[in-house]
Amino acid sequence: MEAIAIILTIIFFLLLLAALIGVVKPSLVKQQTRLKAFFGNLGAAFVTLILIKIF
């Protein structure tokens, strides 16, 4: 169970980093999909956070 929580924590921080890169380096993401990608990554990060709490 602890190993799952550690893996989910790493995934959580990677998703937050991906969301931050979309904001800081917008040239990497198309104009139309920038907000979509940001909120998608943010939503996935929160789902991962909920999974961490479960495990």
List, for residues 3-52, the tens digit of each pLDDT value.
Answer: 888 888 888 888 888 777 766 666 665 666 677 777 777 888 888 888 88
Q: Report the candidate in 55, 18, 14 with the shortest Cα–Cα distance to residue 39.
A: 18
Give residue 17's pLDDT. 82
* pTM for the predicted model, two decimal places: 0.61
Query: Which one-letter amino acid corresponds to residue 45?
Result: A
Give residue 16's pLDDT. 81
Query: How many Å apart are CA 1 and CA 29, to the nearest integer?
Result: 36
Give residue 25's pLDDT. 67
Query: Which one-letter amino acid corresponds to residue 34?
Result: R
Give residue 14's pLDDT. 85
